[in-house]
Structure 1
Amino acid sequence: ETRSGGHLIIRLDCTPLQIFVPRDGGAAEVKGRVHAGDRVTVSGTTEEFGGQREIKVSRSQDVVLMGQGER
């Protein structure tokens, strides 16, 4: 989660881009179902924030769980 605003940042092993899920784009729902080690597919738009490129998700359905990691 971000320090303020209730947004979610996801970091994936397969890309240097971070995934940004805004609060109004379903951050709480994604946080509740995606955990460290899970495999996901993400759809979104590429944007720049703070000098770094990221993928911005517009709705929680754009983060699809493909497989669970070890719990």
Structure 2
Amino acid sequence: MTTTDSTAAPTLDELREGPPTVSIERAAEYLGVSRAYGYRLAQAGHIPTIRLGARRLRVPAAALYRLLTEGETATSA
């Protein structure tokens, strides 16, 4: 049985295989920034979001994955 440590840094595999959207707080963890800065990035349009209802914002996991992995192939060549 595998246990997950809630303090462990999230991995790209978890993002790719997890739910279709993540919270802005979780997206900020993936980006290595604070929760407040994550919200500022989302508000400025640097993190793609979708609105669910009047107040709830979610980050599409696929878009966040692309954001985190773009340029990987250019740096590994």
Fold match by TM threshold 0.5? no
Q: Which has the higher helix share?
A: 2
TM-score (norm 2): 0.29
User: If you compute each CA radius of gyration, which structure gives the higher value, 1 or 2?
Assistant: 2
TM-score (norm 1): 0.30
Q: Which has the higher strand share?
A: 1
